[in-house]
Structure 1
Amino acid sequence: MARSSSGIVAGLTAAAVAAVGFLAYQASASAPAMHAVAPQQPGTVTPDKGTGNSQGKQQEFALPANSGTGVRVVYAVGTKRVWLVGEAGRKPKTFTVVPSTVHPAPGSYTVSSRSGQVTGSDGVPIEHVVRFANSAGVAIGFSARVDGRLPEPDPSRKTGGIRMARADGDAMWTFATIGSKVVVVP
C-alpha cells in the first residue's frame, strides 16, 4: 500500500507543478512587458518622448500640416517621428523612431496585421509589430526590439521595421489595432 500511495503523491505533485506552470505562463502572457534599461550601444539612437520644455522644442514636435484628420498614427519619414493622434482636443503622444531601409510612400494606409512577438527581417527578436504597408516586396511596420536597443539599420539589407523604444512600442500596440489609420508624410 505504501508503494501505491507514493505513486499517487508523485502524480498529484506533478499535476500541481504543471498547473502552477500553466497559470504562471497565462499571467506572464497577459501582464504588461517589463522593461529593463538597456545600456546605450555605439551607433544607437536615444529616443525622446517629445517632452521638451522650451517653446522651440514644442514647435519642433508639432503635428505635421496635411497629416489628415481624426484618430490616426502619423509617421513623418524625414523627421523620424510618430504621433498617436487620439480624440479631438487631446494632445497626441509623440516619439522618435529609427526608420527602416525601405520607406513607405507618403499617403494614407490601414493597419493590416499585428504580431505580439516575432523575429524581424534583420534577424533580431521584436515585439508589438504593427504592419501597415508593403514596398518593393518588403512588409513595413512599427516594432520594438526585445533587447531595447535602437541601432541604425544595416543599409545593405532591405528591412521594413520602423523601430521605437519598448515603451513607445507598448503605446503603439495599444493604439493601432487592425483597421487603424496610418498617415505617412515626407
Structure 2
Amino acid sequence: MAGSSAGIVAGLTGVALTAVGFLAYQASATVPEGLAGTSSGASTAATAPAVERDRNHPTALPSGAGTGPRVVYALSDDRVWLVGEREKVRRTYRVTPSTVDPEPGSYFVTSRTGNTAGSDGVGIEHVVRFTSQDGVSIGFSAAVNGSVRPPDRTRRTGGIRSTRPDGDAMWQFAVINTPVVVIP
C-alpha cells in the first residue's frame, strides 16, 4: 500500500507542476505590451525618447522625455528632474555620474535601500536602483558624509551621487515602479 501511495503522490505532483507551468505560460503570454520588461527593469534602449533641449535654459525639462510622474536623468548634463502630475517639475538638480552609465531608455525603480555602503566603501543613503548593466547595479544615492566627489575611475560603479537634500527628495519621490527615463 505504501508503494501505491507514493505513486499517487508523485502523479499528483506531476499534474500540479504541469498545471502551474501552463498557467504561468498563459499569464506571460497575455501581459499587455508595455508592462512586460526585462529583468533589469528596462523596456529597451531602442525605446530611448527623442528629446529636445532648451540650451538657453539648461534646467528646463527636455520635451519628449516621457509623460506622467517620473524621474528624468540626462546623461550629457548630469542632471535629474523629478516630474510630478501635470508635468510639474518638483525638483531638478545636478548629480555626479558613476563610472557605468545606463543606456538611454525607459526603466522603473526596482529596489530601494535606506542605508548601506557604496561600492567605493563610502556610507550611502536613500539608494534608488532602476537597472543594471554588465553586473553593475545602477541607481541614485547620496553619501552620508555629504561627498559628491567623482568616483574612482579605475572601478566599475553604478552609483549616481547627489547631495543629501537632493537624495532625500529622490527617496520621497521615487518609490518602487516609478518610471525613470534616461536621455542622452
Q: Return the TM-score normalized by structure 1.
A: 0.68
1:81 corresponds to 2:74: no
- Identity percentage of aligned residues: 58
Q: Which amino acid aligns with 1:91?
A: V
Extract unaligned runs of 5+ from structure 2. Answer: 1-53
Superposition deviation, residue 89 in structure 1: 5.3
Q: Compared with structure 1, are the counterparts of its residues 68 and 155 closer, same or farther at alpha carbon in structure 2 (3 Å cutoff)?
A: same
Counterpart residue number, 1:63: 61
- What is the aligned partner in structure 2 of residue 142 from structure 1? 140
Moved over 3 A (4+): none
Work out the number of aligned pairs and report it. Answer: 131
Paired residue for 1:130? 128
Q: Pick from 174, 177, 182: which aligns with 2:175?
A: 177
1:179 maps to a residue whose letter is: N
Name structure 1 gaps, 5 residues minimum.
1-55
From 87, 111, 114, the equivalent of 1:113 is: 111
1:26-52 superposed Cα distances (whole Å, 9 cap, x missing partner): xxxxxxxxxxxxxxxxxxxxxxxxxxx
Contact 2:67 2:87 in 1 (8 A): no
Alignment partners' CA distance in 2, 1:126 and 1:80: 19
The Cα shift of 1:78 comes to: 0.6
Q: C-alpha distance in 2, partners of 1:89/1:112?
A: 23
Please give the secondary structure, in 2, of the residue aligned with 1:168: helix
Give the C-alpha shift of residue 84 in structure 1.
0.1
Match of 1:153 among 151, 154, 165: 151
Spell out the pairing of 1:24-103 with structure 2 (5 A cutoff).
Answer: 59-88=57-86, 90-103=88-101
1:139 maps to a residue whose letter is S
1:123 and 1:113, CA in 2 relative to 1: closer, same or farther beyond 3 A?
A: same
